Amino acid sequence: MLAEYRQLSTDRSARPIPLVDLEPLHGEVADELEQAWRRVSASRLFVGGPEVDSFEQAWAGYCGVRHCVGLANGTDALALTLQALGIGRGDEVIVPATTFVATAEAVILAGARPRFVDVDSESLLMTAESAASGLTSRTAAIVPVHLYGSVVDMEGIRRVARRAHIAVVEDAAQAHGGSWCGQKVGSMGDAGSFSFYPSKNLGALGDAGAVISNDPNLIDRIRTLANHGRSNNGWHDHALVGRNSRLDALQAASIVVKLSHLDRWNTSRREVAERYRDLLAAGCEIVTRPSPGRVHHLQVIRVAQRTYMRRALRARGIETGVHYPQALHLLEPYEQFCGEALETSEEASREVLSLPIFPHMSSSQVERVCESLQEVMGEFGAIRSA
Protein backbone atom coordinates (compact mmCIF):
# COMPACT_ATOMS: atom_id res chain seq x y z
CA MET A 1 0.00 0.00 0.00
CA LEU A 2 2.74 2.41 1.04
CA ALA A 3 4.89 1.45 -1.97
CA GLU A 4 1.86 1.90 -4.26
CA TYR A 5 1.18 5.30 -2.79
CA ARG A 6 4.79 6.33 -3.28
CA GLN A 7 4.57 5.22 -6.92
CA LEU A 8 1.37 7.22 -7.45
CA SER A 9 2.72 10.20 -5.61
CA THR A 10 5.47 10.71 -8.17
CA ASP A 11 2.64 12.21 -10.25
CA ARG A 12 2.20 14.80 -7.53
CA SER A 13 5.78 15.98 -7.95
CA ALA A 14 4.84 19.52 -8.96
CA ARG A 15 2.60 20.07 -5.95
CA PRO A 16 3.83 21.95 -2.88
CA ILE A 17 5.52 19.68 -0.35
CA PRO A 18 4.12 20.17 3.16
CA LEU A 19 6.18 19.68 6.30
CA VAL A 20 3.91 16.76 7.22
CA ASP A 21 1.30 15.15 4.97
CA LEU A 22 -1.14 13.01 6.96
CA GLU A 23 -3.64 12.55 4.12
CA PRO A 24 -2.08 9.40 2.60
CA LEU A 25 -1.49 7.91 6.03
CA HIS A 26 -5.13 8.36 6.98
CA GLY A 27 -6.21 7.13 3.54
CA GLU A 28 -4.36 3.91 4.24
CA VAL A 29 -6.25 3.19 7.48
CA ALA A 30 -9.59 4.88 6.67
CA ASP A 31 -11.62 1.64 6.66
CA GLU A 32 -10.12 0.41 9.92
CA LEU A 33 -10.74 3.80 11.55
CA GLU A 34 -14.36 3.84 10.42
CA GLN A 35 -14.98 0.38 11.86
CA ALA A 36 -13.44 1.47 15.18
CA TRP A 37 -15.58 4.62 15.33
CA ARG A 38 -18.74 2.63 14.61
CA ARG A 39 -17.85 0.27 17.43
CA VAL A 40 -17.36 3.21 19.85
CA SER A 41 -20.59 4.83 18.76
CA ALA A 42 -22.53 1.58 19.27
CA SER A 43 -20.96 1.01 22.69
CA ARG A 44 -22.09 4.43 23.93
CA LEU A 45 -18.99 4.49 26.15
CA PHE A 46 -17.16 7.61 25.05
CA VAL A 47 -14.78 8.37 27.93
CA GLY A 48 -12.74 5.51 29.37
CA GLY A 49 -14.24 2.02 28.93
CA PRO A 50 -13.04 -1.03 26.97
CA GLU A 51 -11.47 0.92 24.07
CA VAL A 52 -9.25 2.83 26.52
CA ASP A 53 -8.44 -0.42 28.39
CA SER A 54 -7.42 -2.06 25.08
CA PHE A 55 -5.26 0.92 24.18
CA GLU A 56 -3.52 0.86 27.57
CA GLN A 57 -2.78 -2.85 27.27
CA ALA A 58 -1.61 -2.57 23.69
CA TRP A 59 0.68 0.43 24.32
CA ALA A 60 2.20 -1.06 27.50
CA GLY A 61 2.82 -4.33 25.64
CA TYR A 62 4.37 -2.59 22.63
CA CYS A 63 6.70 -0.56 24.89
CA GLY A 64 7.65 -3.62 26.98
CA VAL A 65 6.31 -2.36 30.33
CA ARG A 66 3.60 -3.62 32.67
CA HIS A 67 1.33 -0.57 32.97
CA CYS A 68 -0.06 2.34 31.00
CA VAL A 69 -2.63 5.04 31.68
CA GLY A 70 -4.27 6.93 28.83
CA LEU A 71 -4.62 10.70 29.32
CA ALA A 72 -5.94 13.78 27.53
CA ASN A 73 -2.58 15.02 26.17
CA GLY A 74 1.20 14.82 26.54
CA THR A 75 1.57 17.94 28.68
CA ASP A 76 -0.75 16.50 31.33
CA ALA A 77 1.08 13.18 31.04
CA LEU A 78 4.32 14.85 32.18
CA ALA A 79 2.74 17.14 34.79
CA LEU A 80 0.62 14.39 36.37
CA THR A 81 3.61 12.02 36.50
CA LEU A 82 5.69 14.58 38.39
CA GLN A 83 2.75 15.31 40.70
CA ALA A 84 2.16 11.59 41.31
CA LEU A 85 5.85 11.18 42.15
CA GLY A 86 5.29 13.74 44.93
CA ILE A 87 7.25 16.44 43.12
CA GLY A 88 6.04 20.01 43.59
CA ARG A 89 6.68 23.18 45.55
CA GLY A 90 10.32 23.71 46.50
CA ASP A 91 11.56 21.05 44.05
CA GLU A 92 13.59 21.51 40.90
CA VAL A 93 13.34 19.37 37.78
CA ILE A 94 16.15 19.26 35.22
CA VAL A 95 14.95 19.82 31.64
CA PRO A 96 16.82 20.58 28.42
CA ALA A 97 16.65 24.16 27.11
CA THR A 98 16.12 22.75 23.60
CA THR A 99 12.70 21.09 23.48
CA PHE A 100 9.04 21.96 22.97
CA VAL A 101 7.80 24.36 25.65
CA ALA A 102 5.47 21.73 27.16
CA THR A 103 8.41 19.93 28.82
CA ALA A 104 9.10 22.94 31.05
CA GLU A 105 5.46 24.00 31.26
CA ALA A 106 4.58 20.63 32.82
CA VAL A 107 7.17 21.13 35.58
CA ILE A 108 5.54 24.43 36.53
CA LEU A 109 2.04 22.93 36.30
CA ALA A 110 3.20 20.33 38.86
CA GLY A 111 4.26 23.21 41.15
CA ALA A 112 8.04 22.74 40.78
CA ARG A 113 10.75 24.86 39.07
CA PRO A 114 12.41 23.88 35.79
CA ARG A 115 16.19 23.88 35.91
CA PHE A 116 17.35 24.33 32.31
CA VAL A 117 20.52 22.58 31.10
CA ASP A 118 22.31 22.69 27.76
CA VAL A 119 22.37 19.96 25.10
CA ASP A 120 24.94 18.13 22.99
CA SER A 121 26.04 20.25 20.01
CA GLU A 122 25.55 17.49 17.39
CA SER A 123 22.33 15.77 18.47
CA LEU A 124 20.80 18.64 20.52
CA LEU A 125 19.94 16.01 23.17
CA MET A 126 20.48 16.17 26.92
CA THR A 127 23.57 14.21 28.01
CA ALA A 128 24.59 12.68 31.35
CA GLU A 129 27.11 15.50 31.76
CA SER A 130 24.62 18.26 31.05
CA ALA A 131 22.05 16.64 33.37
CA ALA A 132 24.66 16.41 36.14
CA SER A 133 25.51 20.11 35.66
CA GLY A 134 21.97 21.03 36.75
CA LEU A 135 21.95 19.08 40.04
CA THR A 136 21.31 21.04 43.24
CA SER A 137 20.13 20.03 46.70
CA ARG A 138 16.56 20.70 45.51
CA THR A 139 16.63 18.50 42.39
CA ALA A 140 13.83 15.94 42.44
CA ALA A 141 13.86 14.58 38.87
CA ILE A 142 15.46 14.64 35.43
CA VAL A 143 13.31 14.81 32.29
CA PRO A 144 15.36 13.73 29.24
CA VAL A 145 13.61 14.44 25.93
CA HIS A 146 14.01 12.09 22.95
CA LEU A 147 13.95 15.07 20.63
CA TYR A 148 13.27 14.82 16.87
CA GLY A 149 12.99 11.01 17.21
CA SER A 150 16.63 10.64 18.33
CA VAL A 151 17.21 8.71 21.54
CA VAL A 152 19.02 10.02 24.62
CA ASP A 153 21.77 7.88 26.19
CA MET A 154 19.55 6.69 29.02
CA GLU A 155 22.25 4.65 30.74
CA GLY A 156 24.20 7.83 31.49
CA ILE A 157 21.11 9.73 32.66
CA ARG A 158 20.05 6.84 34.90
CA ARG A 159 23.53 6.73 36.46
CA VAL A 160 23.31 10.44 37.36
CA ALA A 161 19.80 9.95 38.80
CA ARG A 162 20.77 6.85 40.80
CA ARG A 163 23.67 8.66 42.45
CA ALA A 164 21.47 11.66 43.30
CA HIS A 165 18.50 9.45 44.41
CA ILE A 166 16.11 11.25 42.08
CA ALA A 167 13.52 10.15 39.53
CA VAL A 168 13.81 9.96 35.72
CA VAL A 169 10.73 10.74 33.62
CA GLU A 170 11.32 10.30 29.88
CA ASP A 171 9.57 12.76 27.59
CA ALA A 172 9.04 10.45 24.62
CA ALA A 173 6.48 12.62 22.81
CA GLN A 174 8.65 12.75 19.66
CA ALA A 175 9.94 9.18 19.53
CA HIS A 176 7.16 6.54 19.51
CA GLY A 177 8.74 3.18 18.79
CA GLY A 178 12.31 4.45 19.22
CA SER A 179 14.71 2.34 21.26
CA TRP A 180 18.08 2.28 22.98
CA CYS A 181 19.97 -1.05 23.16
CA GLY A 182 16.74 -2.94 22.54
CA GLN A 183 14.64 -1.08 25.12
CA LYS A 184 11.78 1.08 23.92
CA VAL A 185 11.74 4.80 24.76
CA GLY A 186 9.56 5.52 27.76
CA SER A 187 10.47 2.19 29.40
CA MET A 188 13.91 3.15 30.68
CA GLY A 189 13.11 5.63 33.46
CA ASP A 190 10.70 5.56 36.40
CA ALA A 191 8.02 6.52 33.89
CA GLY A 192 7.72 7.54 30.24
CA SER A 193 5.29 10.11 28.91
CA PHE A 194 3.82 10.35 25.41
CA SER A 195 1.78 12.77 23.35
CA PHE A 196 -0.37 11.40 20.52
CA TYR A 197 -0.90 14.79 18.88
CA PRO A 198 -1.92 14.00 15.26
CA SER A 199 1.45 14.78 13.63
CA LYS A 200 3.48 12.57 16.00
CA ASN A 201 4.96 9.27 14.76
CA LEU A 202 1.90 7.68 16.38
CA GLY A 203 -0.89 10.23 16.38
CA ALA A 204 -4.53 10.26 17.42
CA LEU A 205 -7.16 12.26 15.52
CA GLY A 206 -7.12 14.97 18.17
CA ASP A 207 -5.30 15.42 21.47
CA ALA A 208 -4.27 12.39 23.49
CA GLY A 209 -1.46 11.30 25.81
CA ALA A 210 -0.28 8.44 28.03
CA VAL A 211 2.19 7.46 30.73
CA ILE A 212 3.87 4.05 30.92
CA SER A 213 5.67 2.54 33.90
CA ASN A 214 6.44 -0.72 35.67
CA ASP A 215 5.24 0.83 38.94
CA PRO A 216 1.53 0.02 39.43
CA ASN A 217 1.17 2.48 42.34
CA LEU A 218 2.50 5.36 40.28
CA ILE A 219 0.09 4.56 37.42
CA ASP A 220 -2.82 4.28 39.90
CA ARG A 221 -2.01 7.70 41.38
CA ILE A 222 -1.85 9.27 37.91
CA ARG A 223 -5.17 7.62 37.01
CA THR A 224 -6.78 8.99 40.18
CA LEU A 225 -5.38 12.50 39.64
CA ALA A 226 -6.58 12.49 36.02
CA ASN A 227 -10.11 11.45 37.01
CA HIS A 228 -11.05 14.24 39.46
CA GLY A 229 -9.20 12.46 42.27
CA ARG A 230 -11.75 9.61 42.27
CA SER A 231 -10.81 6.57 44.34
CA ASN A 232 -11.91 3.03 43.52
CA ASN A 233 -14.73 3.33 46.06
CA GLY A 234 -17.18 5.15 43.85
CA TRP A 235 -18.05 7.91 41.42
CA HIS A 236 -18.52 10.51 44.15
CA ASP A 237 -15.63 9.48 46.37
CA HIS A 238 -12.79 11.94 45.73
CA ALA A 239 -9.66 10.87 47.55
CA LEU A 240 -7.48 13.63 46.07
CA VAL A 241 -7.86 17.02 44.45
CA GLY A 242 -7.44 16.00 40.84
CA ARG A 243 -8.47 17.29 37.45
CA ASN A 244 -10.01 15.98 34.26
CA SER A 245 -7.39 14.56 31.92
CA ARG A 246 -9.06 11.34 30.77
CA LEU A 247 -8.54 9.77 27.38
CA ASP A 248 -11.66 9.40 25.26
CA ALA A 249 -12.67 6.19 23.55
CA LEU A 250 -12.58 7.54 19.97
CA GLN A 251 -8.95 8.65 20.36
CA ALA A 252 -7.98 5.39 22.08
CA ALA A 253 -9.55 3.30 19.31
CA SER A 254 -7.89 5.44 16.61
CA ILE A 255 -4.44 5.02 18.20
CA VAL A 256 -4.89 1.24 18.43
CA VAL A 257 -5.71 1.11 14.70
CA LYS A 258 -2.58 3.10 13.85
CA LEU A 259 -0.34 1.22 16.31
CA SER A 260 -0.36 -1.90 14.11
CA HIS A 261 1.26 0.22 11.35
CA LEU A 262 3.76 2.13 13.50
CA ASP A 263 6.84 -0.04 12.89
CA ARG A 264 6.30 0.03 9.12
CA TRP A 265 5.77 3.81 9.13
CA ASN A 266 8.93 4.24 11.22
CA THR A 267 10.84 2.09 8.71
CA SER A 268 9.59 4.40 5.95
CA ARG A 269 10.73 7.44 7.93
CA ARG A 270 14.20 5.81 8.20
CA GLU A 271 14.28 5.31 4.42
CA VAL A 272 13.31 8.95 3.84
CA ALA A 273 16.01 10.09 6.28
CA GLU A 274 18.60 7.88 4.52
CA ARG A 275 17.65 9.42 1.17
CA TYR A 276 18.10 12.88 2.71
CA ARG A 277 21.51 11.86 4.07
CA ASP A 278 22.58 10.68 0.59
CA LEU A 279 21.28 13.74 -1.24
CA LEU A 280 21.69 16.71 1.06
CA ALA A 281 24.23 19.16 -0.22
CA ALA A 282 27.70 19.09 1.24
CA GLY A 283 27.86 21.76 3.90
CA CYS A 284 24.42 20.82 5.20
CA GLU A 285 24.67 19.79 8.82
CA ILE A 286 22.05 17.19 9.79
CA VAL A 287 21.00 17.20 13.44
CA THR A 288 20.66 13.65 14.71
CA ARG A 289 22.11 11.08 17.02
CA PRO A 290 23.25 8.24 14.77
CA SER A 291 21.85 5.37 16.84
CA PRO A 292 20.00 2.42 15.25
CA GLY A 293 16.90 3.00 17.42
CA ARG A 294 16.07 6.51 16.22
CA VAL A 295 12.73 7.07 14.50
CA HIS A 296 13.14 10.37 12.61
CA HIS A 297 10.18 12.36 13.85
CA LEU A 298 11.68 15.52 12.35
CA GLN A 299 14.39 16.05 9.71
CA VAL A 300 16.39 18.93 11.15
CA ILE A 301 19.38 20.64 9.59
CA ARG A 302 21.36 23.71 10.64
CA VAL A 303 21.69 26.64 8.27
CA ALA A 304 22.89 30.22 8.28
CA GLN A 305 20.33 32.88 7.23
CA ARG A 306 17.33 30.75 8.08
CA THR A 307 14.71 33.41 7.37
CA TYR A 308 16.03 33.89 3.84
CA MET A 309 16.23 30.13 3.28
CA ARG A 310 12.67 29.55 4.44
CA ARG A 311 11.30 32.28 2.23
CA ALA A 312 13.19 31.03 -0.81
CA LEU A 313 12.12 27.44 -0.17
CA ARG A 314 8.49 28.49 0.26
CA ALA A 315 8.68 30.25 -3.11
CA ARG A 316 9.69 26.85 -4.56
CA GLY A 317 6.75 25.10 -2.90
CA ILE A 318 8.70 23.58 0.01
CA GLU A 319 7.25 24.08 3.47
CA THR A 320 9.69 24.13 6.38
CA GLY A 321 9.42 24.49 10.16
CA VAL A 322 11.57 25.62 13.08
CA HIS A 323 11.87 23.38 16.12
CA TYR A 324 12.47 25.56 18.11
CA PRO A 325 13.05 29.26 17.44
CA GLN A 326 13.90 30.15 21.04
CA ALA A 327 15.85 28.30 23.74
CA LEU A 328 13.29 27.87 26.52
CA HIS A 329 15.20 29.71 29.26
CA LEU A 330 15.05 32.86 27.08
CA LEU A 331 11.27 32.83 26.58
CA GLU A 332 9.78 35.66 28.60
CA PRO A 333 7.65 33.61 31.05
CA TYR A 334 10.62 31.32 31.70
CA GLU A 335 13.32 33.97 32.17
CA GLN A 336 12.75 33.83 35.92
CA PHE A 337 14.15 30.27 35.82
CA CYS A 338 17.14 31.27 33.69
CA GLY A 339 20.56 30.68 35.20
CA GLU A 340 23.73 30.91 33.14
CA ALA A 341 23.90 31.21 29.34
CA LEU A 342 23.29 27.90 27.55
CA GLU A 343 25.28 28.55 24.41
CA THR A 344 24.60 25.40 22.40
CA SER A 345 20.83 25.74 22.80
CA GLU A 346 20.92 29.46 22.04
CA GLU A 347 23.05 28.96 18.91
CA ALA A 348 20.90 26.05 17.72
CA SER A 349 17.70 28.06 18.11
CA ARG A 350 19.04 30.53 15.52
CA GLU A 351 20.05 27.84 13.00
CA VAL A 352 17.71 24.83 13.11
CA LEU A 353 15.47 24.25 10.11
CA SER A 354 13.05 21.34 9.78
CA LEU A 355 12.57 19.87 6.30
CA PRO A 356 9.49 17.85 5.27
CA ILE A 357 9.40 14.25 6.50
CA PHE A 358 6.50 11.79 6.75
CA PRO A 359 6.16 8.06 6.10
CA HIS A 360 4.56 8.41 2.65
CA MET A 361 7.09 10.94 1.36
CA SER A 362 8.30 9.75 -2.07
CA SER A 363 11.91 9.69 -3.27
CA SER A 364 11.06 12.30 -5.86
CA GLN A 365 9.73 14.60 -3.14
CA VAL A 366 12.96 14.19 -1.15
CA GLU A 367 14.94 14.89 -4.32
CA ARG A 368 12.92 18.05 -4.96
CA VAL A 369 13.54 19.32 -1.43
CA CYS A 370 17.29 18.64 -1.73
CA GLU A 371 17.58 20.21 -5.18
CA SER A 372 15.68 23.28 -4.02
CA LEU A 373 17.86 23.56 -0.95
CA GLN A 374 20.99 23.33 -3.08
CA GLU A 375 19.71 26.07 -5.39
CA VAL A 376 18.79 28.30 -2.46
CA MET A 377 22.16 27.77 -0.79
CA GLY A 378 23.88 28.56 -4.08
CA GLU A 379 21.83 31.74 -4.53
CA PHE A 380 22.56 32.79 -0.98
CA GLY A 381 26.30 32.20 -1.54
CA ALA A 382 26.05 34.36 -4.70
CA ILE A 383 24.25 37.16 -2.82
CA ARG A 384 26.85 37.10 -0.05
CA SER A 385 29.82 37.28 -2.42
CA ALA A 386 28.21 40.00 -4.62
Ligand X SMILES: Cc1ncc(COP(=O)(O)O)c(C=O)c1O
Rg of the chain on CA atoms, in Å:
21
Residue 86: count other Cβ atoms within 10 Å of its Cβ: 11
Beta carbon nearer to ligand X, 167 or 284: 167
- Binding-site member from 74, 144, 186, 189 for ligand X (CB under 6 A): 74
CA distance 168 to 87: 12
- Binding-site member from 21, 52, 62, 75 for ligand X (CB under 6 A): 75
Give min distance, CB of 76 to ligand X, in A: 7
Long-range contacts of 307-312 (CB under 8 A, 24+ apart): 308/380, 309/353, 309/373, 309/376, 309/377, 309/380, 310/353, 312/376, 312/379, 312/380
CA distance 173 to 27: 24
Beta carbon nearer to ligand X, 97 or 284: 97
195: contact with ligand X by CB under 6 A: yes
73: contact with ligand X by CB under 6 A: yes
CA distance 77 to 195: 8
345: contact with ligand X by CB under 6 A: no
Q: Spell out the alpha helix ranges (H) of 10-92.
A: 23-43, 50-63, 74-84
From residue 108 to residue 147, the character string flagging contacts with ligand X as x (rule: CB under 6 A) and all else as - is -------------------------------------x--
- Binding-site member from 36, 102, 132, 211 for ligand X (CB under 6 A): 102
248: contact with ligand X by CB under 6 A: no
99: contact with ligand X by CB under 6 A: yes
From residue 16 to residue 55, the character string flagging contacts with ligand X as x (rule: CB under 6 A) and all else as - is ----------------------------------------
**Footprint on this chain of ligand X (rule: CB under 6 A):** 73-75, 99-100, 102-103, 145, 171, 173-174, 195, 197, 207, 209
